[in-house]
Amino acid sequence: VNMAEKARTAEVIITPHETSDTEGDGSIKLVVTQKPAPVITDDRAGDSLALLSIYSSMNGIFTWDASENMRYWKGVELWETTDKYIKIPEDLIGRLKSVEFIAFETKESLPYQVKYLKTAESITFSGNSNTFLKNIVLGNEICDLVKYGNLRKLTVRAYGLVGLPANFTEFGKTLISLDL
């Protein structure tokens, strides 16, 4: 699956060991183009696509059923009109409130799609396999969420984390809980 926003192209040249072809060496050039990942839109459909893309990129052990309503996915909570502790803006109703990415295998920073979790109040990444073998430095993608002001709780544990981006301090403006 292509998780990048650009198409990918691969060229494969097949050359036989022996050929009876009198013209050329019998080689065949095969060009394969993979379509880019779908565009992640700023709506509920974009929220679910971002979640699926992130967990897939991280080689998640469990899967969410993409044909099922996202409100039934384990570890995913949506903003509801019944959230009583604060007045919820209309544009947040039905959008992502919190997510837990648990049990995965990655050697890289958080996938770039994390920047699309604009409406999330809480995000957890926990349970990277063999964390003691990893030396992962977080990229800037997570810091893109500061400008939306919704993220209050961020957890990145059992990840193999050894460094943070320089602008990570910007989260001091919005976070009330940080667990690294």
What digits encode the pLDDT tens for the residues 135-178? 999 999 999 999 998 999 999 999 999 999 999 999 988 899 99
Name residue 90's amino acid.
E
Residue 85 class from Cβ within 10 Å (0-12 exposed, 13-18 middle, 19+ buried)? exposed
| Structure confidence at residue 19 as a pLDDT band (50, 70, 90) | low
- All residues at 6 or more sequence positions from 14 whose CB lies less than 8 Å from its CB, including other chains: 27, 28, 29, 30
d(CA 91, CA 70): 17
d(CA 130, CA 23): 54
User: Rounded mean pLDDT of 35-45?
Assistant: 89
Torsion angles phi and psi, residue 158, rounded to 5: 50, 50
pTM of this prediction exceeds 0.85: no
d(CA 110, CA 114): 7
Q: What angle do CA 163, 144, 148 make, to 5 degrees?
A: 135
- DSSP bridge partners of 96: 78
What pLDDT shows up at residue 102?
Answer: 95
User: Rounded mean pLDDT of 92-103?
Assistant: 94
What pLDDT shows up at residue 21?
Answer: 59
